[in-house]
A and B are shown apart, each in its own frame.
Chain A
Amino acid sequence: MDTLASRRKVLQMVFYIIATVFVLRLLFIQVLNKNYKQLANNNVLRKVTLYPSRGLIYDRNGKLILFNQAEYDLLVVPGQIKKFDTLNLCNTLGLEISNFKKELFKAYKYSRFKPTVIVKGIQSELYAQLQEDLFLYPGFYAQVRMVRTYPIAAAAHVLGYISEVTLKQIDKSDGYYQQGDYIGTGGLEQYYEKILRGKKGVKYVLVDVHNREQGAFNEGQMDTLAIPGINLHSTLDIDLQQYGEKLMQGKVGSVVAIDPSTGEVLAMISSPTYDPRLITGRERGKNFSKLYADSLKPLFVRPLKASYPPGSIYKPLLGLIGLQEQAILPSSTYSCAGAYSVGSSRVGCHHSGFVNNIIEAIQHSCNAYFCMSFRKMVDNNKYKTVAQGLDSWKSYLSSFGIGVRMKTDLPGVGYGFIPGSDYYNEIYGVGHWNSLTIVSLGIGQGEIGLTPLQMANEMTAIANHGWFYTPHLVKKVDDDTSTVLKIFKEKNIIPIEKKWFDVTVEAMKEVVEAGTGQIAQIPGLTMGGKTGTAQNPHGKDHSLFICFSPVVDPKIAIAVIVENAGFGASYGAPIASLMIEKYLNDTISTPRKYLEQRMFEADLIHNKFQQTPVH
C-alpha cells in the first residue's frame, strides 16, 4: 500500500496547486488589472447632465421678449405597463389610437426597460389635465423640457434661435458641448451664447441592471449644480420693432433705427421676416427647411449683411468730406445742365439749374454738384496722386463705420464695400485711372456698397454732429462682472469739424422741409433726412431714406431700404417717418393715417407693379 498511500500526497498537491492558481488569478483580476474597476463603474454609473435654464431677454422697456417655457414629453417603459384605458389616454392627448399603438409597439421593440419618448411637446395646459390621470397609466412618465418661447412674434433675426450643436462646434468647445446639446444660432442667442447658456451641472447616479435609477453616487460629492444663464436687457423697443415689421409687410428690405445719444438700436427689421415660434418645438425641422428654401430668403439678415449702393443718401457724407478737405466751400456754386459731362463721360442729373450752395445741392440732390465735389476732393493738390486722394476719402468713410466691420453685438456684421486705390490699381493698373474713371463714386453708385446698419450709423453720426457710439443691441447684462458692453461706451469721433456738420444738418432739414423728402414731414417735429435711390441692375431701383428727429438733441436716427420700390420718397420716407412718429409721439397723427394704411397694405412682393404712390 506504500505507493497508494503516496497518492494522498498527490491529491494534496492538486488541492494546493488549484488554490494557488485561484489566488494568483484573483491577484491578477482584483489587484493588478485596474480595468475591472472602470468596467464596473460603466455598469452602474450614469452621468446625468443637468441643464441650466437659459437666460431671458427683455426689451428696453422691460418687456419679456424671450423666455423658457416648460413642455412635456410623455415617456413609456414598456416593461412596466399594466392594463390601461388606451382610449381615455388618447382622448386626453388628442391622439389617434392606431398611431399611438404603433408608437407603443415601436417602444416595446426598442427596449422593455429603457424609457422611450412616445408623445413629444405636450403644452403645459394639456399636461395639467394629463397629470391628474397619470397614475392610471403605470409605465408612463412625463419629462419636462424647457423650450425657448417668444411671447411676441417679432425680432426673429435679432434674437436668433437655438439649435442642436454640430460636430464642429463640439470639437471647438473644449468639451463643454455634447451631442444633443443646444447652442444659440444667429442673433443675440449666438453672440451672447456664453452668457445666456449658464453652466451645465452634472449628477452621477447609480443604476441597476435594468437601467433603473437607484440613487446618488458617493453621496453626491462629485455632483455639480447647474448655474442658470444670465438675463439680457436688449436695446430694442419691441413695440416699435413690431410696428416696423408690420409696415414692412409685403416688402423686401431693411429698417434700422438707432438712438443717436447712446448708439442703442431701437429696431432692426429684416423683411421678409418669419415667426420665430416656427423654429422651436415640434415642427421645427419642417418649418426650417421651408424657410430655407424660400426664394425671398427670410433667414437672410439683411440689415447686417445686405450691401446696397447708397445713391443719394451718401451725398451728405461726400459734402462733409469735401468741406473738411476744403475741396469745396459751403458757398460753392455750380451750374447744373442736367448732367455732369467731362469729355466723353456723362453722369445724368434729374435736376437742372443753378446751385447756389451746398445746402441747395443736398436739398435737390444734384448729381453734377457732387461729381464735381468728389473729383475736386480726390484731385486735391494735397495729394500727389488720385490714389492717395481716394484712400483719404475711404478713410473718412471708415471713421463713419462704412467699409469696415462695426463691432455690433450680433454675429455676421457685414463690411459693405468701399473701393480703395488698390481696388482700381487691380482693375486698371497703377496710374491707368483718374478721378474721372471713378466719378460714379461721387453719386454713390458703382462699386460702392453700404449695409443698412451703416446707413443708420451714418445718420446717427450726422445727427450727433460728428460722433457716435457703436450701434448695439444689449444695454445691460444682469451680471456685474460682465465687461462685454464696455466697447459700447466708447465714443467714436469723426475727424471732421463740427461746423461742417452744422451745414449738413441744415441741408438735411431743408430736404424734408422743402426738398425731396417732404412726405416725411411730421406735424410738430423737426426732422433732417435724405432720400436715395439705389441703382439695381436686376430690376426696379431700391428706395432708400435716412432721417433723424428732432433736429436738436436727436432721439432717433433711422435708415429704411425697400427693395425694388423705386424712388426714395415712395416707400423709404413714409416708412421711416411713420416709425419716428410712432416712437416719439406713440400715435400716428390723423392726417398721416392714410399714409400708414397705404404702407400696411402695399404688397410689392406679390404685386410688383403696383402704382408708385403720388405725393
Chain B
Amino acid sequence: MIDKRKTNNNLDWVIILLYGVFVSIGLLVVYASSHDDSRPFFDTRQLYIRQLIWVCTSIIIASFILVTDNKIYTTFAYFIYAAVLIMVIGVFFFGHEVNGNKNWFEIGSFQLQPSEFAKFSVALVLAKYLGNQNNNLKSNKTKMVSLALIFFPALLIQLQGDTGSTLVFLSFFLVLYRFGLPGEFLALGLGVLTLSVFSLLIDKFTLIAILFIMAGASLYFIKRTKVAYFVIAGLFICASLYVTTTNYVFNHVLRSHQQERIKVLLGQEVNVKDADYNVRQSKIAIGSGGFLGKGPLHGTLTKYNFVPEQHTDFIFCTIGEEYGFLGTTLFVSLFLFLLIRILSLAERQRSKFSRIYAYGVASILFFHFLINIGMTIGLAPVIGIPLPFISYGGSSLWSFTILLFILIKLDADRLAVLR
C-alpha cells in the first residue's frame, strides 16, 4: 500500500537543499578556521578532512533513513529511546574523558558522543507519547510523564558534566507549549531568558531598578487584589534574585571547565581568570569583519587562533570575520527560513506523531541557533553547544542529520498516513 516512488515524489527538496547548503558552509568555515598548512592537504589529521568524512557518512545515513520504512521510528520510538539511554549510561562505564566531560566513545581515532543522539530520541518519544489520543497535556499525569521523558536523559547528561547539552532539553518546552502546556510556563521561560540576556547587557542594579518600576507600573494597571500584590512582589523578588545570581552562576558554575579548556589552550598567555575572554575575542573577530568581511580564508583572527574553539562552538566567528555583516545576515536569514519551513512542514502533517516530531526538530534547532549565535555576539551566556550542520564534530552532524531526515522521511510519507 505504501509506494516507494511516492516517498521520492513527495520529498521536500527545499529542506534537503538547505541541508546541503549548510553542510557546505560548514565544510568551508571548518577549513578556514582549522587548516594546518604544515600538513598535506589530504591528511586525516586535518579537521576538514575528518569533517568531510563525517559529511559523507551523514549522507549515507540520510539515504538510509529515506529508503527504510518510517515505521522504524513510529513503532519503535520507545525502543530507540531506551537504546539511546543505555548508550548514554554505557558512557559512564566505557566512556572516554575529554576536557572534563566523560561523554565520549572512542572508535579508532574518531569519537562518538551518545548524548548528541539523545535529542532526536526524546523528540521521537515525545511525539509517540503525546501522539497517543489518550494523553492530553491538560492532565497532570501527562505533564508529569512528558517532563520525566525529557528530564531523565537530561539528568544523565548533566551527570556527565555536559551542561550545554543538558540545557538543550529545555527546548522541548516549546513543543509542550505548542501542544497544550499552559502559556504561563512559556511566558515564565521567556521571562527568564529575557532577564538573562538583559543581566548580561545592563548593570544589575540598573536592571533591578527597572524591574521595580515595572512592578509598580503593573500594579497601577491591573486590579489591585491581595493575590496580585503577592504575585507581583514574588515575581519581583525572584527576578531580582535571579539577576543578582545569574552572572555569578554563568561565570563560576557553568563556565568552570570552559575556563580550564582555555587555560590548557593558551598556557599562561592570557589572563584566564577573565571568563569573558572567549566572548571578547569572538566579538572582536565578528566585529572586525565589517560590512563585507575580510574575504574567504582572510580572517586574520581566525587564521591565528585568537578565538578558542573556533572550529566547534565559535564557528560563527569565522562567518562573521570572513563574510561580514552581509554573510552573517544571510546566514541568520537562511537559518530562519529553515526553521519557518520546518514549522510549515509540521502543520501540514496529518499524523499527530509527525507534527509533534516536527516541532521537536524545530525547537532543538532553534535552541542551538539561539544559544550558539547569541553567545558569539555576547547576547547569551557561554554554553558550549554546536551550531547545527556548521560546527566541526561528527556526533552532532550525525545527530542533526538523523533528526532532520527522519522529519523529511515522515513528511514525504505524510499522504500515506490514514487519518
Contacts and interface: CB of A to CB of B under 8 A. Distances in A.
A21 B329 contact: no
A427 interface: no
B32 interface: no
B179 A12 contact: no
Contacts of A40: 284-285, 287-288, 300-301
Given A4-B180, A26-B332, A112-B267, A31 B301 contact: no
B320 A26 contact: yes
Contact of A30 (B290, B346, B374): B290
B35 to A, nearest CB: 14
A25 interface: yes
A37 to B, nearest CB: 5
Nearest to A29: B287
A23 B373 CA distance: 11
Interface stretch (A165-173, A201-209, A347-355): A201-209
A16 B336 contact: yes
A210 B283 contact: no
B370 interface: yes
B266 A26 contact: no
B178 interface: yes
B153 interface: no
B305 interface: yes
B325 A30 contact: yes
A214 interface: yes
Contacts of B179: 4
A391 B56 CA distance: 104
A39 interface: yes
Given A7-B177, A12-B340, A209-B266, A33 B287 contact: yes
Interface SS majority for chain A: helix
B336 A15 contact: yes
B11 interface: no
Nearest to A22: B332
Contacts of B325: 26-27, 30-31
B274 interface: no
A18 interface: yes
A116 B292 CA distance: 40
Contacts of A208: 303-306
Contact of A21 (B301, B306, B379): B379
Contacts of B339: 15
Contact of A11 (B174, B291, B335): B174
A179 to B, nearest CB: 23
A43 B301 contact: yes
A25 B347 contact: no
A112 B328 contact: no
A408 B366 CA distance: 81
Given A26-B325, A206-B304, A112 B340 contact: no
A113 interface: yes
A27 B328 CA distance: 9
Interface string B242-280: 000000000000000000000000111100000000000
B280 to A, nearest CB: 8
Contacts of A111: 268-269
A97 interface: no
B291 A7 contact: no
Interface string A21-65: 111011101110101110111011000000000000000000000
Interface in B322-370: 324-325, 328-329, 332-333, 335-336, 339-340, 343, 346-347, 359, 362, 366, 369-370
A30 B269 contact: no
Contact of A15 (B305, B340, B378): B340
Contacts of A285: none
Contact of B291 (A4, A21, A30, A33): A30
Contact of A19 (B267, B336, B346): B336
Given A27-B325, A30-B328, A8 B178 contact: yes
Contact of A31 (B190, B290, B369): B290
A79 interface: yes
A7 B190 CA distance: 14
Given A112-B269, A113-B267, A207 B304 contact: yes
Nearest to A210: B269
B286 interface: yes
Contacts of B378: 25
A19 B269 contact: no
A39 B284 contact: yes
Contacts of A21: 379
B328 to A, nearest CB: 5
Count class of interface residues, chain B: 35 or more
B239 interface: no
Count class of interface residues, chain A: 35 or more
B366 A15 contact: yes
Interface in B363-410: 366, 369-370, 373-374, 377-379
A111 B333 CA distance: 44
Interface string B207-228: 0000000000000000000000
Contacts of A209: 266, 269, 304-306
Contacts of B373: 22
Contacts of A4: 178-180
A29 to B, nearest CB: 4
Interface string A186-225: 0000000000000000000011111100100000000000
A79 B291 CA distance: 38
A29 B320 CA distance: 10
B289 interface: yes
A206 B300 CA distance: 8
Contact of A44 (B180, B301, B359): B301
Nearest to B283: A29
Contacts of B362: 11
Contacts of A112: 267-269
With a 10 A CB-CB cut-off, give which of B177, B281, B290, B320 has the most chain A CB atoms: B290
A41 B284 CA distance: 10
A346 to B, nearest CB: 83
Nearest to B190: A14
A214 B38 CA distance: 13
B286 A30 contact: yes
A205 to B, nearest CB: 11
Contacts of B300: 40, 43-44, 206
Contacts of B343: 8, 11-12, 15
A79 B179 CA distance: 57
Given A8-B343, A43-B306, A36 B269 contact: no
Contacts of B305: 208-209
B288 A39 contact: yes
B365 to A, nearest CB: 10
B184 to A, nearest CB: 13
Nearest to B328: A26
B188 to A, nearest CB: 14
A37 B267 contact: no
A190 to B, nearest CB: 41
Contact of B290 (A19, A25, A37, A41): A37
Contacts of A44: 300-301, 304, 306
A11 to B, nearest CB: 6
Given A26-B286, A43-B284, A43-B306, A11 B377 contact: no
Contacts of B359: 11
Given A4-B180, A37-B287, 16 more contacts: A8-B343, A11-B359, A15-B343, A26-B325, A29-B286, A29-B377, A30-B286, A30-B324, A31-B290, A31-B291, A33-B287, A44-B300, A111-B268, A112-B269, A208-B305, A209-B304
The 6 closest A-B pairs by CB, nearest first: A36-B287, A40-B288, A208-B304, A30-B325, A19-B336, A29-B287
9 contacts: A19-B332, A19-B336, A22-B374, A25-B379, A36-B284, A36-B286, A43-B306, A112-B268, A214-B304
Interface of A: 4, 7-8, 10-12, 14-16, 18-19, 21-23, 25-27, 29-31, 33, 35-37, 39-41, 43-44, 79, 111-113, 206-211, 214
